[in-house]
Amino acid sequence: MAINPDYFKEERNKEWRIQLRQGIKNKERVSRERIKMPEQDPDVRNKNSKEVNLGLSEKQAVTESQRCIDCPDPTCITGCPVEINIPEFIKYIEAGDFLSSARVLKQTNSLPAVCGRVCPQEVQCEVQCFYVKKMNKPAVAIGHLERFAADYERSSGKIFVPETAEKNNIKVGIIGSGPGGLTAAGDLAKYGYDVKVFEALHELGGVLKYGIPEFRLPNDIVDVEIDNLRKMGVSFVTNFIVGKTASFSDLKKEGFVAFFVASGAGLPRFMNVPGENYVGIFSANEYLTRVNLMNAAKQDFDTPVLFGKKVAVIGGGNTAMDSVRTAKRLGAERSMIIYRRSFEEMPARIEEIKHAEEEGIEFLNLNSPVEYYADKNGRVNRMKVQKMKLGEPDKSGRRRPIPVEGSEYDIDVDLVVVSVGVSPNPLIPKSLPELKVTKWGTIEVNPDNMQSSIPYIFAGGDIVRGGATVILAMGDGRKAAAGMHDYILKTVKKK
Amino acid sequence: MLDLSVKYLGLTLKNPIIVGSSDLSSTVEEVKKLESNGASAVVLKSLFEEEILLEAATKAEEARIDQMFYAELSETLDYIDLHIKEDKLAKYLKLISDAKKQVLIPVIASINCITPYEWTDFTVKIQDAGADALELNIFLNPTDLSDKNFEQTYFDIIGKVMKKVKIPVSVKISPYFAKPGLMIKKLSETGISGLVLFNRFFSPDIDINSLEVKSANKFSTETEQYNVLRWIALMSDKVKCSLAASTGIHSGESVIKQILAGADAVQVVSALYRKSPGHINVMLKDIEKWMNKKGYNYISQFKGKVSQESARNNAAFERMQFMKYFSGIE
């Protein structure tokens, strides 16, 4: 469903764009430094759950937008899985028309405030920016500007609700209310369908809520996006597990003609080292869900969570960073990352690693757990770690960690969070034996329209990719919505 | 009526021929075929630490190609070797439990290991899956030039595993020790139930046309049995556990020799690759023929017979043979 490149050209050739380009010479634009995102002070923010990044001011946003030279061949768009018209939304900021900027974002991205915060722009749109590719300079801060425009629209109270086609009374189901599910719901509502989202948990938002802490993505931002979908006519049901609460055939009997499965990859993995079952050892999924979604850290809520003073988080990805920084905010005196490779190989975003370091997180890189020990009540109180060294790159180009014999030592811990990856949620594939799954346990789909081996079932996001980013899941949601629309036109409507 | 049963690792086997760990014992169907051809026990195909790591690299590359696990940011990809280990282990546990349901002979699990870390916890699951025993194929590289305590690793691995499981544990070793006899004796005193002498390393050859290293004989030859025979003969009355002979045992005659030297049982693999699993029956018939000829009714009647008679002074015996052959001293 690629957008016609001519459309981008036509938009670029509009008079207001031409005038803006002529307003500031490119030489001057490229001479400016990238605006730094204002942040809470590390010593203050590591004791609260408010957002770390404070967002650009109007003046900062306009100044940053002026760095964009409005390239005739905007390579940045090629790095965006949902093909946002990036130069256009940035130029609207330069023109001071922030609401129009937000509307451009919403043409193809139903969650811009979310993406502006959690998308890895440095490996997607920004890495394709002219500044990076041709000048070896920091990219235009596309993500920060996206967040600015989305936040401006939200705080203005003039939130744009996309137009929807006349209701066609055809029922479609979305399984999972994470980024993929919400995006597909929005697009299907635009086509005029009667869209219902089934969420297994008691709160909507999927990984956006349970997985990402409020200091990176406040829950109310997700709620605003969900409310917007409600305004478009999408309905939501929580505590509903498709495959258990009701089967696909039950739902088909109720009139649903097609489904988009976006049930995510919520099954945590462990390392299988001795003692991993002791009390006080959590998967990152469980730990973050308790804190983020169930308010476990708040005194007036019943959900328990352990408050560790000496916390070890195993892993080096974004979820590990989220967990270790959460533990610090919950009062840990020592909050450590234990990672078996070095900074260079860490999968977490550089920004998250930098924030964690500033907040006083200790990094025990080139270390790996060997065994956990517990007190007489079975609560973890110590762990043995072994030092690692990096071997030569393997077939996949990654340097394999090799244990250093005799280098084991003990660390006192009272809480451990294991963050070494997740598996696709097996519930849907198990409930539909005829559904084809890949050797990775993910649902096999036609990549052009996200249709599975069962024609009325489409799928996307982590349940198809194993582990995706928010924006990739959203891209899948858009593609699946178009695929479902096409399928319904060809089959259901014919009947 | 001849009785070929033997005791090995505290288990009663209907005869001394065990099928060693290999692809021949990698599926339930194969295991059933081995049982129906007369095998008295099977050692399942090993879980390899290195194999898992190699597979991890391959899987990581495949994941990249399949656009899975979003390579740049994925914790799952970052720890894919561990996850593959989990998957592999689950499949292995299923092999054990399925095999146990479908055959009557003992099923011995096997782990090919080089460190006493991570994997040792798996042994409990192997026990819970129903394995009758566990064979540790400790595969330390004798070409390692570092000064680390090579021998100590064996004891560390055994110590850690013995703490975790109650099923019999055997250890398959290589012959590469400074003092193999002393090592065999000390290992037998760790509480293990058996030792398997010896595992067989990859043997390199050189292709003189392409000037490349190639694999020498993939399968053992009968001549390789003699080094095993020597150490079985030398150590069978000095160890505190069962001994199984392995490598180069291709015929009933070879089995008889190893038992005469003191082996409790033998492990065969290459002979079955070269011929077929049906060859086990051929070997058993040859043993029976020999026992009838010699008037033996039980294996125990001749087990260790030659070893005990000739090994009163093993060191002297070994030296005398050497002098006799190479210096003409009678």
pLDDT at B63: 67
Q: Which residues in B lie closer than 8 A to residue A465 (C-beta atoms)?
A: 67-70
Residue of B nearest to A350 (CA): B73
Distance from C-alpha of B108 to C-alpha of A268, rounded to nearest angstrom: 31
CA distances from A164 to A40, A110, A191, A483, B260 (A): 40, 13, 6, 18, 89
**What confidence category does residue B215 fall into, taking pLDDT thresholds of 50, 70 and 90?**
confident
Q: What are phi and psi of A372, to 5 degrees?
A: -115, 150
Distance from C-alpha of A261 to C-alpha of A174, rounded to nearest angstrom: 6
Contacts A–B by Cβ distance under 8 A = 123
Whether residue B1 lies inside any domain: the answer is no
Name the residue among A316, A403, A406 with its Cβ closest to that of B78: A316
DSSP state of B300: G
Output the furthest CA–CA distance in chain A (Å, rounded). Answer: 75
Of the candidates A118, A225, A2, the residue with the CA atom closest to the CA atom of residue A468? A118
Domain count, chain B: 1
Q: Which residues in B lie closer than 8 A to residue A469 (C-beta atoms)?
A: 70, 73
Whether residue B170 lies inside any domain: the answer is yes
Condensed to tens digits (0 to 9), the pLDDT of residues B31-46 reads: 999 999 999 999 999 8
pLDDT at A1: 45
Contact A467 B74 (CB under 8 A): yes
**What residues contact A15, with CB distance under 8 A and at least 6 apart?**
none
Contact B70 A316 (CB under 8 A): no
Whether residue B164 lies inside any domain: the answer is yes
Name the residue among B70, B80, B117 with its Cβ closest to that of A469: B70
Name the residue among B54, B60, B75 with its Cβ closest to that of A420: B75
* CATH code where residue B168 lies: 3.20.20.70
Q: Which residues in B lie closer than 8 A to residue A463 (C-beta atoms)?
A: none
Contact B75 A347 (CB under 8 A): yes
Q: Which residues in A lie closer than 8 A to residue B123 (C-beta atoms)?
A: none
Name the residue among B58, B68, B83 with its Cβ closest to that of A269: B83
**A408: closest CA of chain B, how far (Å):** 11
**B10: closest CA of chain A, how far (Å):** 28
**A269: closest CA of chain B, how far (Å):** 7
Name the residue among A396, A403, A422 with its Cβ closest to that of B117: A403
Q: Which residues in A lie closer than 8 A to residue B79 (C-beta atoms)?
A: 269, 271, 315, 420-421
Residue of A nearest to B77 (CA): A421
**What confidence category does residue B327 fall into, taking pLDDT thresholds of 50, 70 and 90?**
low
pLDDT at A8: 87
Q: Which residues in B lie closer than 8 A to residue A288 (C-beta atoms)?
A: none
**What residues contact A12, with CB distance under 8 A and at least 6 apart?**
A70, A72, A74, A87, A88
- Locate all alpha helices (DSSP H) within chain B, ordered by sequence: 28-36, 49-65, 75-78, 80-102, 122-128, 150-164, 180-188, 225-235, 252-261, 270-274, 279-294, 305-310, 314-327
- Which of B59, B62, B65, B75 should be substituted to probe chain A, the one whose Cβ sees the most A Cβ atoms within 10 Å? B75
**What residues contact A489, with CB distance under 8 A and at least 6 apart?**
none
Name the residue among B64, B70, B82 with its Cβ closest to that of A472: B70
- Locate all alpha helices (DSSP H) within B113-224, ordered by sequence: 122-128, 150-164, 180-188
Contact B75 A419 (CB under 8 A): yes
* pLDDT above 70: residue B279: yes
Residue of A nearest to B125 (CA): A272
Residue of B nearest to A469 (CA): B70
Q: Which residues in A lie closer than 8 A to residue B68 (C-beta atoms)?
A: 440, 442, 465-467
Contact B57 A394 (CB under 8 A): yes
Contact A320 B75 (CB under 8 A): yes
* Rounded (5°) CA angle B165-B98-A433: 120
* pLDDT above 80: residue B73: no
Whether residue B111 lies inside any domain: the answer is yes
Of the candidates B36, B5, B9, the residue with the CA atom closest to the CA atom of residue B287? B5
Name the residue among A405, A440, A469 with its Cβ closest to that of B73: A469
Condensed to tens digits (0 to 9), the pLDDT of residues B154-195 reads: 998 899 899 889 999 999 999 988 889 999 999 999 999 999
Check if the beta carbon of residue B107 is closer than 8 Å to that of residue B96.
yes
- List residues of chain B with CB under 8 Å from any CB of chain A: 53-54, 56-58, 60-61, 63-64, 66-70, 72-83, 85-86, 89, 115, 117-118, 120-122, 148, 153
**A417: closest CA of chain B, how far (Å):** 14
**What residues contact A373, with CB distance under 8 A and at least 6 apart?**
A275, A278, A380, A381, A382, A383, A384
Contact A396 B70 (CB under 8 A): no
Name the residue among A319, A396, A442 with its Cβ closest to that of B75: A319
Distance from C-alpha of A428 to C-alpha of B209, rounded to nearest angstrom: 57
* pLDDT above 70: residue B68: no
- List residues of chain A with CB under 8 Å from any CB of chain B: 120, 123, 265, 269, 271-274, 315-320, 341, 345, 347-349, 370, 386, 394-396, 398, 400, 403, 405-406, 419-423, 438, 440, 442, 465-469, 472
* pLDDT above 70: residue B52: no
Packing angle of the helix pair A179-190, A470-487 (nearest 10 deg) = 40
* CB atoms closer than 10 angstroms to residue B191: 11
Burial, B300: exposed, middle or buried (Cβ in 10 Å; 0-12, 13-18, 19+)? Answer: middle
Name the residue among A370, A419, A469 with its Cβ closest to that of B117: A370
Contacts within 8 Å (CB) and 24+ apart, A382-385: A382/A410, A382/A411, A382/A412, A382/A413, A383/A275, A383/A312, A383/A410, A383/A411, A383/A413, A383/A416, A384/A408, A384/A409, A384/A410, A385/A338, A385/A409, A385/A410, A385/A411
Name the residue among B61, B77, B121 with its Cβ closest to that of A272: B121
Distance from C-alpha of A71 to C-alpha of B176, rounded to nearest angstrom: 68
Distance from C-alpha of B76 to C-alpha of A460, rounded to nearest angstrom: 18
> Which domain, by its residues, includes B50?
6-327
Residue of B nearest to A406 (CA): B148
pLDDT tens for chain A, 495 residues long, are 456 778 888 999 999 999 999 999 999 999 999 999 999 899 988 888 889 999 999 999 999 999 999 999 999 999 888 889 999 999 999 999 999 999 999 888 888 999 999 888 888 899 999 999 999 999 999 999 999 999 999 999 888 888 899 999 999 999 999 999 999 999 999 999 999 999 998 899 998 988 899 999 999 999 998 999 999 999 999 999 988 888 889 999 999 999 999 998 878 888 888 899 999 999 998 999 888 876 655 666 665 667 789 999 999 988 999 999 999 999 899 999 999 999 988 988 888 999 999 999 999 999 999 999 999 999 999 999 999 998 777 666 677 888 887 899 999 999 999 999 888 888 888 888 899 988 778 899 998 899 999 999 999 988 988 776 788 888 899 999 999 999 999 987 655
Q: List the domains of chain A with CATH numbers.
A: 5-42+49-156 (1.10.1060.10), 171-266+424-492 (3.50.50.60), 268-421 (3.50.50.60)
Contact A272 B85 (CB under 8 A): yes
Check if the beta carbon of residue A372 is closer than 8 Å to that of residue A380.
yes
Residue of B nearest to A317 (CA): B75
Whether residue B35 lies inside any domain: the answer is yes
Contact A465 B115 (CB under 8 A): no
Q: What are phi and psi of A378, to 5 degrees?
A: 85, 10
